[in-house]
Homo-oligomer: A and B are copies of this chain.
């Protein structure tokens, strides 16, 4: 056990939000408030941008009952940013400013809740503080629906997004199959570089034959238009109703995003009368319609897949809390320069999850790629290994606070420190 370190802490959030990101900061805030070593608890307004600007919320002034609503409140409650911080060895302007703020408020603990870029920011600040000899314990709290953070079995936010995707695809597959004329439906799913979310579409058919997608296109496989149209046409002839899940990040063999195609420049696939630039699902729909003549609809799940707290996984909420709590506990015990990660264990066949620590340096340099062996050889479906991996992460229904049957989100006062 390291020496006791007394001082204030700052908690910040950055990157795209999720349905459970606030459960993580609740875990951190609650543990920090209850800790004897942490003297004051600040929230950074809009992540590191708020620290640099000296905009800190005094979280000790928040109503505990409102804070307790955070686990069911989607989207970064403290505000977020997409700020790319410089390499401290090249430009230390921001770091000097951060150090100044840390000194002014005697900040000895810094917790940063985000994805790959946020962990990179965290690592750089940690490195700088070490270099200048300012004692401050810095721990990253993972968050990303994309599930691509290195060193952890999975990421908080992924389970809830996966559950929303699976639930929605089950409902869509019922909806689009009601007519006897048949229909082809293409659903565009987030995850530009990793197929975790797109693969989650496969959960829809786990226990429900006839539910869920017939074809799944993750971004790891080079997208071949001819093969795709052949696949879809064959399924259409076989089944009449076809449901297709595609990653927003699919690319052709030259590396060009299919979302940057327009139906006019489809070359060998011919012209379709009009130029289509309205998102990947709409582009694919126009190609499929031209090939099959079927009734075709493109659906973009859009933001709801990352903010649908009403369809969150309680397992995900609990684990997100555990990650925030674990970060503060680890720091109090003397750890720094680490991110909280998850390790899965099966005890008597039952899934359990515990935290571990991963060096921020590793997290900043690698990503958790979707295993290629979990994609079928045809490149248009996902194997059962993924179902076994993902199913435990979507379990449990949240007991949300409702008013008039609508969600009652946390309302923080967010009082800025003078």
CB within 8 Å of B: which residues of A? 13, 17, 45-46, 49, 73-76, 79-82, 163, 166-168, 170-172, 174-180, 185, 203-204, 206-211, 274-279, 282, 297, 299-300, 302-304, 306-311, 313, 391, 394-397, 402-409, 411
Contact indicator A307/B405 (Cβ below 8 Å): no
Q: Which residue of B lies closest to A304 (CB)?
A: B168
Give the chain B neighbours of A180 by CB distance below 8 A: 45-46, 49, 79, 81
Q: Which residue of B lies closest to A274 (CB)?
A: B277
Inter-chain CA distance A178–B77, complex, in Å, is 7
User: Which of B75, B208, B297, B306 has a CB less than 8 Å from the CB of A408?
Assistant: B208
Give the chain B neighbours of A275 by CB distance below 8 A: 274-275, 277
Quick one: copies of this chain in the complex?
2
Given the interface pairs A49-B180, A277-B274, the reply to whether A310 lies near B404 with Cβ below 8 Å is no
User: Which of B166, B395, B407 has a CB less than 8 Å from the CB of A167?
Assistant: B407
Given the interface pairs A278-B279, A311-B310, A405-B313, the reply to whether A79 lies near B179 with Cβ below 8 Å is yes
Chain A, interface SS category: loop
Pairs across A and B, CB under 8 Å, 30 listed: A45-B180, A46-B179, A74-B174, A74-B175, A75-B177, A76-B178, A79-B180, A166-B406, A170-B406, A170-B409, A171-B303, A172-B304, A172-B307, A174-B307, A175-B306, A207-B404, A207-B406, A207-B408, A208-B408, A275-B277, A277-B277, A278-B282, A279-B282, A299-B303, A300-B302, A304-B304, A394-B405, A394-B406, A395-B404, A397-B402
Inter-chain CA distance A303–B167, complex, in Å, is 13
Given the interface pairs A79-B180, A175-B303, A303-B299, the reply to whether A396 lies near B404 with Cβ below 8 Å is no
Q: Min CB distance, A181 to chain B, in Å?
A: 9
Contact indicator A17/B175 (Cβ below 8 Å): yes
Given the interface pairs A75-B174, A180-B81, A275-B275, the reply to whether A403 lies near B207 with Cβ below 8 Å is yes
Q: Which residue of B lies closest to A13 (CB)?
A: B178
Give the chain B neighbours of A13 by CB distance below 8 A: 178
Q: Which residue of B lies closest to A210 (CB)?
A: B411
Inter-chain CA distance A307–B172, complex, in Å, is 7
Q: Which residue of B lies closest to A170 (CB)?
A: B407
Q: Min CB distance, A401 to chain B, in Å?
A: 11
Inter-chain CA distance A306–B175, complex, in Å, is 8
Q: Which residue of B lies closest to A18 (CB)?
A: B175
- CB-based closest 3 A-B pairs: A278-B278, A175-B307, A75-B174
Give the chain B neighbours of A75 by CB distance below 8 A: 171, 174-175, 177-178
Q: Which residue of B lies closest to A311 (CB)?
A: B310
Inter-chain CA distance A411–B210, complex, in Å, is 10
Inter-chain CA distance A395–B177, complex, in Å, is 29
- The residue among A17, A80, A172, A302 with the most chain B CB atoms within 10 A of its own CB is A302
Q: Which residue of B lies closest to A171 (CB)?
A: B307
Q: Min CB distance, A78 to chain B, in Å?
A: 9
Q: Min CB distance, A162 to chain B, in Å?
A: 10
Inter-chain CA distance A211–B307, complex, in Å, is 13
Q: Min CB distance, A189 to chain B, in Å?
A: 13
Contact indicator A171/B309 (Cβ below 8 Å): yes
Contact indicator B407/A206 (Cβ below 8 Å): no
Give the chain B neighbours of A308 by CB distance below 8 A: 168, 171
Give the chain B neighbours of A175 by CB distance below 8 A: 17, 74-75, 303, 306-307
Q: Which residue of B lies closest to A53 (CB)?
A: B180
